[in-house]
Amino acid sequence: MDNSFSTNHIKCIKAVNEALNNVSDFKDTMQDIVEVLFAIYECDRAYLIYPCTPDALQWRAIECATDKWFSANDVGQDMMMDESVASVCKTLHEKKDVVTFGVKGDVPVPKMLIETFKINSQISMPIYSPKGDALALGLHQCSYERVWSDEDKNLFREVGLLITKFISESYDNFKHYYDQVGIS
C-alpha cells in the first residue's frame, strides 16, 4: 500500500471520528464530516443529501463546494427532486454500496446533473438509518474527469460506515433535524 495513501487514510478516519465525537448538533457534525471529505479528496463538492428516495418531492443538502461551482446551498431552500437526482437515488438503493458515476465510472452521470452542477465524475453511497431513512453521501469532481481509485472507494465506504454507526446511535437527533426542516 502506498505510504501517502495510508497516511491520508488514517488522517481522514481520525478527522471523521473527531467530528463524530465532538457532537454539538447533527447538522454541525455532518457539516464537519463533509468538510473533512472535501479537504482529503480535494474534490469540487462534497455533500450529504436527505432524503435519498427517488419518490421524494424535494431534498436538502449539507454541502461544501469550491466557489467556482454551483452549490445547492446557494439556493437557500430545498431542491425539487428531479429525474436526474431520483435516478442517482435509485441507483444507490439498487447497489447499496459505493457507486462511481462518469465516463469511466460504474454508471454515467445523469445529463441534467452535468448541466446543472457541471459534474464530470462522482462517487456516492447510500447511508441508512435504523428505521430505513436513506441519505446519500457523495463527492463531485467538476474540474476534470476523475477516475476514483479502489483506495478512494474503500476510504469512502469506511467513512460511510462510520456515519451509519453515528446515525444509528443518535437517531433521535438525526430525525429531529430533518423533522425540524420539514423534509421527509
State how far the Cα of 159 lies from the Cα of 29, in Å rounded to an integer. Answer: 13
Domain count across the chain:
1
pLDDT of residue 156: 94
pLDDT of residue 129: 86
How do residues 134-173 score in pLDDT, each as one tens digit?
899 999 999 999 999 999 999 999 999 999 988 888 777 7
CATH number reported for the structural domain that contains residue 106 in this entry = 3.30.450.40
Domain enclosing residue 110, as ranges: 3-181
pLDDT of residue 173: 72
Where b means 16+ CB within 10 Å and e means fewer, 148-182 reads: beeebbebbeebbebbbebbeebeeebbebbeeee
pLDDT of residue 79: 77
% the chain with pLDDT above 90: 43
pLDDT of residue 70: 58
